[in-house]
């Protein structure tokens, strides 16, 4: 994501940050949702079933205190396959996932329906993006020690953070000059294995992890992010039209559709990046149609709230000092990208489309000025002295330049750290390999979750239509009987957790079922806590999905200095939709 130069020029030269929105309403909770009355729901306790008729009343949005911020580099940054079986982060790791509700013979848990759950990252950049690893003048050569160290960090991060697959999306300008194997970071000397698709084309790189890693190996896939186009999971070779053609409104429809056809010929899926922006409309997404879009993007979250240097400095200063767990640095700023959610709800009643949460990491966030604004120290009697007095840790970067190093000795935007913030969980056939992973993500048999709050154990969402099971991402046409089944996620301890002892069961979780039609979207059911599942038997045409929010009070012991941020309700999980057609 790149801000226009004109906008960057309006911002202080050494920093951009995002606006503090104090005393605002959490619009993502219920502002666009109105509760439907008299929906027939069965609440299933994990210990028994209780059927009841529930009448819902309209709810007012909760009042929350939000503070947001970010650095200029985020906004102005540059213009044979054997995938892991169910891993340690998989929701199926709990015994509940493999069981069936014997009282109603409901096939709860992906395992019971023949799927393993794999955790992955979608939308990330390497040294093969013009702004990957480094952004600014005097960019180091790709074979320089600096860039090779960045590549080594990228290759190690999935092993350190429990990632089974990574869909890379390097920018076309640099990526097109590299071979497909280079784009996959293929290194046979490190034990890498190329994976081919059913047509014999190279599809992925299977990277072996060191002994003791959170996963034994992971898959790298190739995609690209250009001007609104973000095709993912491509097989070799990549046609020029894929690199060159935007999916945005300013591209002739037939030209964009021809480029999407090339993506499909390469076995990939045509996603769009930054769909919250106005230059790709809901009408264009339907007309193309796209295979997928983003439901969340870190850059978009921050750019939507542009403005307050001092709020950002205060928060980051706290995480640079001893106190809060460094990997939770995103938590005080986390908010939905409302425009993405709203656009999906406009599109989904008309076309089948998948969603992903986009990490969009570049690993390039550094103070972008040379020399730094406080290069002469803090005794200037002005800004530098004042900044140092108020923010002693943050101000050191204003003096020395470089990346923002948090209290664990690692940069703010490392690959390892960002891969632990959130991920996409794909339901992959138990015997499936790289092609099955690509299909699960591309067709929306997946959900996205913010693992910083705890890994989402036990979550499940599926339907039974006229006796046949329907998974997320699938369409149902003309069914006479449809029942939706939802089981809330239970936050669990991440295997990388390095913080204090936490009572993970004390998290406050709220699960909502959203129904989107051409007339709008609304929450039709809600469940508080993690013990009760939902069954919806009155299922009308439209797109049905699940949103889960969390008030992370359980994490207060790990948020020393920013404890109040744990009292705010935040997004926890977005499911893909089940599409019900007449």
Q: In the predicted model, is pLDDT for residue 353 greater than 50? A: yes
Token duo for residue 44: 């299933």
Which 3-state string (H, E, C) describes 531-542? CEEEEECCCCCE
Indicate left, alpha or beta for 267 from its phi (over 0: left) and psi (-120 to 50: alpha): left
Q: In the predicted model, is pLDDT for residue 102 greater than 80? A: no
As beta bridge partners, residue 455 has 492
Query: What pLDDT, on the 0 to 100 scale, is given for residue 136?
Result: 76
Query: What pLDDT, on the 0 to 100 scale, is given for residue 273?
Result: 96
Q: Which of 79-83, 311-315, 367-371, 470-474 has the weakest average pLDDT?
A: 79-83
Helical residues (DSSP H) of 423-493, grouped into ranges: 434-442
Residue-wise burial string across 258-288, b where 16 or more C-beta atoms lie within 10 A, e elsewhere: ebbebbeebbbbbbbbbbbbeebbbebbbeb
Contact (Cβ atoms closer than 8 angstroms) between residue 455 and residue 89 = yes
Q: In the predicted model, is pLDDT for residue 451 greater than 90? A: yes
| Residues 6+ positions from 299 with CB-CB distance below 8 Å | 1, 74, 75, 274, 360
246 vs 87, residue with greater confidence: 246
Average pLDDT over residues 141-151: 95
Among candidates 55, 53, 30, which has minimal Cα distance to 521? 30
Residue 135 confidence class, pLDDT cut points 50, 70, 90: confident
Query: What pLDDT, on the 0 to 100 scale, is given for residue 11?
Result: 36
Average pLDDT over residues 155-175: 97
What is the distance between the alpha carbons of residues 353 and 578, in angstroms, rounded to a whole number? 10
Query: What pLDDT, on the 0 to 100 scale, is given for residue 84?
Result: 33
Sequence length of the chain is 582
Cis ω for the linkage preceding 112 (within 30 of 0): no
Query: What percentage of the chain exceeds 70 in pLDDT?
Result: 81
What is the distance between the alpha carbons of residues 391 and 509, in angstroms, rounded to a whole number? 34
With tokens 């989402």, the residue in question is: 456
Token duo for residue 21: 């929105």
Query: What percentage of the chain exceeds 90 in pLDDT?
Result: 74
Contact (Cβ atoms closer than 8 angstroms) between residue 524 and residue 513 = yes
With tokens 């000092």, the residue in question is: 321
Query: What pLDDT, on the 0 to 100 scale, is given for residue 335?
Result: 92
Query: What pLDDT, on the 0 to 100 scale, is given for residue 104?
Result: 59
Query: What pLDDT, on the 0 to 100 scale, is given for residue 24?
Result: 31
Alpha carbon separation from 495 to 47, 196, 202, 549 (Å, rounded): 27, 31, 32, 22
485 vs 60, residue with greater confidence: 485
Question: Tens of pLDDT along 554-567?
Answer: 999 999 999 999 99
CB 402: neighbour CB atoms within 10 A? Answer: 11
pTM for this entry: 0.85
Q: In the predicted model, is pLDDT for residue 307 greater than 90? A: no
Query: What pLDDT, on the 0 to 100 scale, is given for residue 306?
Result: 52
What is the distance between the alpha carbons of residues 462 and 206, in angstroms, rounded to a whole number? 30
DSSP conformational letter for 340: H
Question: Tens of pLDDT along 228-287?
Answer: 999 999 999 999 999 999 999 999 999 999 999 999 999 999 999 999 999 999 999 999
Query: What pLDDT, on the 0 to 100 scale, is given for residue 529?
Result: 93
Q: In the predicted model, is pLDDT for residue 320 greater than 80? A: yes
Contact (Cβ atoms closer than 8 angstroms) between residue 114 and residue 187 = no
| Residues 6+ positions from 561 with CB-CB distance below 8 Å | 318, 321, 323, 324
Residue 360 confidence class, pLDDT cut points 50, 70, 90: very high
Question: Tens of pLDDT along 342-352?
Answer: 999 999 999 99
């Amino acid at each position: 994501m790149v801000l226009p130069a004109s906008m960057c020029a309006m911002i202080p030269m050494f920093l951009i940050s995002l606006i503090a929105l104090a005393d605002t309403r959490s619009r993502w909770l219920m502002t666009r949702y109105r509760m439907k009355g008299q929906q027939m729901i069965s609440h299933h306790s994990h210990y028994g079933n209780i059927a009841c008729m529930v009448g819902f009343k309209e709810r007012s949005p909760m009042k929350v205190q939000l503070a947001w911020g970010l650095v200029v580099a985020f906004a102005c940054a540059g213009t044979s396959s054997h995938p892991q079986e169910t891993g340690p982060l998989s929701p199926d790791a709990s015994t509940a996932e493999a069981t069936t509700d014997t009282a109603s013979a409901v096939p709860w848990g992906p395992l019971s329906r023949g799927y393993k759950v794999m955790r992955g990252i979608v939308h990330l950049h390497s040294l093969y993006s013009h702004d990957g690893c480094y952004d600014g003048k005097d960019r180091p050569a790709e074979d320089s020690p600096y860039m090779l160290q960045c590549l080594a960090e990228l290759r190690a991060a999935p092993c350190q953070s429990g990632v089974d697959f990574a869909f890379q999306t390097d920018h076309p300008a640099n990526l097109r000059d590299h071979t497909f194997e280079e784009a996959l970071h293929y290194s046979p000397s490190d034990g890498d294995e190329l994976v081919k698709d059913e047509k014999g084309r190279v599809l992925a790189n299977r990277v072996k992890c060191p002994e003791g890693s959170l996963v034994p190996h992971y898959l790298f896939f190739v995609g690209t992010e250009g001007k609104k186009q973000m095709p993912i999971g491509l097989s070799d070779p990549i046609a020029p039209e894929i690199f060159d053609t935007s999916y945005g409104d300013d591209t002739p429809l037939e030209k964009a559709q021809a480029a999407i056809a090339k993506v499909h010929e390469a076995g990939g899926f045509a996603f769009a990046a930054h769909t919250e922006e106005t230059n790709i409309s809901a009408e264009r997404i339907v007309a193309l149609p796209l295979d997928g879009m983003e439901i969340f993007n870190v850059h978009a979250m921050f750019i939507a709230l542009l403005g307050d240097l001092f709020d950002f400095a205060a928060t980051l200063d706290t995480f640079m000092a001893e106190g809060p767990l460094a990997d939770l640095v995103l938590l005080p700023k986390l908010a939905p990208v409302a425009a993405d959610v709203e656009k999906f709800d406009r599109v989904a009643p008309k076309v089948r489309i998948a969603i992903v949460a986009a990490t969009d990491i570049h690993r390039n966030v550094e103070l972008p000025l040379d020399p730094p604004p406080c290069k002469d120290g803090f005794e200037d009697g002005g800004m530098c002295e004042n900044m140092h007095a108020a923010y002693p840790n943050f101000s050191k970067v204003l003096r020395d330049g470089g990346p923002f190093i948090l209290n664990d000795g690692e940069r703010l935007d490392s690959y390892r750290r960002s891969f632990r913030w959130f991920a996409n969980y794909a339901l992959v056939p138990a015997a499936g390999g790289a092609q099955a992973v690509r299909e699960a993500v591309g067709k929306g048999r997946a959900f996205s979750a913010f693992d910083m709050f705890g890994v989402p154990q036990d979550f499940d969402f599926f339907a039974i239509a006229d006796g046949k099971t329907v998974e997320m991402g699938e369409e149902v046409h003309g069914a006479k009987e449809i029942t939706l089944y939802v089981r809330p996620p239970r936050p669990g301890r991440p295997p990388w957790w390095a913080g204090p002892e936490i009572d993970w069961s004390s998290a406050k979780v709220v699960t909502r079922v959203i129904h989107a039609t051409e007339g709008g979207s609304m929450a039709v059911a809600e469940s508080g806590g993690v013990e009760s599942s939902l069954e919806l038997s009155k299922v009308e045409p439209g797109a049905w999905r699940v949103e889960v929010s969390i008030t992370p009070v359980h994490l207060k012991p790990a948020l020393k200095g920013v404890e109040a941020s744990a009292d705010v309700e935040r997004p926890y999980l977005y499911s893909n939709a089940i599409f019900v057609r007449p």
